[in-house]
Amino acid sequence: MSVNQPKFAGKVAFVTGGGEGIGRAIALQFAKHGASVVVSGRTESKIKETVQLIEKASGKGLAVTCDVRKEDQVRAALQKTKETFGRLDIAVNNAGVDEKASPAAGQSVEEFERVLDTNLLGTFLSVKYEVPLMLEQGGGSIINISSGAGVIGVKGISAYVASKHGVIGFSKSVALDYVEQGIRVNVVAPGMTETDMMLKRATGGKPDNIAKAISGAPIGRFAKTDEIANAVTWIASDEASYIVGAVVVVDGGQTVD
């Protein structure tokens, strides 16, 4: 790569849950650094808005509506990626949902399954169809998005915690499956971040609780979405070429033990 060439020039990135929050920030960061970005999500208007922002900044983007819980939709989204750009170099599996806080015994089976279907099954299905495209070209980089809740227990959100722990275990196994074939798989685990979902969970929907929520992070503030995106793009880059199966926690010290 020449000094003046963007670090992802000529590469294609696929981002699930790219319509808002951390996913949007990740998509914009890859585009900023020269990648063509496929933005996937369930809400067409939101992913199209992300692509509009990419194009406004002179980048290349493609919006693909996809529910990661549905295998046929995931397969079609990756096929569309190949048809449009001819390759896949980077995949960021970010799509996820939260849950209504409840002690485990009070949780319904339907709610538990809903959370795991998106956060864990959705990650599996995405990887299942990303890997073959990367193998065709001899390698790539996959970053699965877990959470600080993927490395500790959190009261009242057992389904979410289980799903995010599962993402980490799954990712470590997949990393070993494909490292010899040139695919690096890693995890980024964000802590409290300025997204609608995170703010709602951290404050219980009450803005007056923000100060109390922030007190849980030694750094004294929530993360900006760009700070999570910075970690993701670095891990995806050649600068992190020896990092495999790692869990990079970006939480301002919240889970330090």
DSSP 222: P
The pLDDT assigned to 64 comes to: 98
And the tokens for 120? 């864990």
Residue 237 identity (one-letter amino acid):
S
Query: Which value, in Å, is the radius of gyration of the alpha carbons in the chain?
Result: 17
Indicate the angle between helix axes 122-137 and 158-178, nearest 10 degrees: 20
The pLDDT assigned to 35 comes to: 98
Residue positions annotated with a catalytic role: 160
The pLDDT assigned to 211 comes to: 74
Residue 209 CB contacts under 8 Å (≥ 6 apart), including other chains: 202, 203
Strands 60-65 and 247-250: unpaired
DSSP 102: B
Token match 């995806």: residue? 236
Residue 224 CB contacts under 8 Å (≥ 6 apart), including other chains: 193, 194
Residues 127-145: b if buried by 16+ CB within 10 A, e if exposed: bebbbebbeeeeebbbbbb
Pick the CATH number of 12-191+220-250 from 2.40.10.220, 3.20.20.70, 3.30.70.60, 3.40.50.720: 3.40.50.720
Residue 250 CB contacts under 8 Å (≥ 6 apart), including other chains: 188, 189, 190, 191, 223, 227, 228, 231
Neighbouring CB atoms inside 10 A of 33's CB total 17
Distances (CA, A) of 218 to 100, 111, 203, 206: 26, 32, 17, 22
**Could you list the mean pLDDT of each consecutive 10-residue stretch along the chain, which spans 257 residues?**
79 98 98 98 98 97 98 98 98 95 93 97 98 97 97 95 98 98 98 80 68 80 95 98 98 89
pTM of the model: 0.94
122: closest CA among 100, 92, 99? 92
DSSP 254: T
The pLDDT assigned to 201 comes to: 65
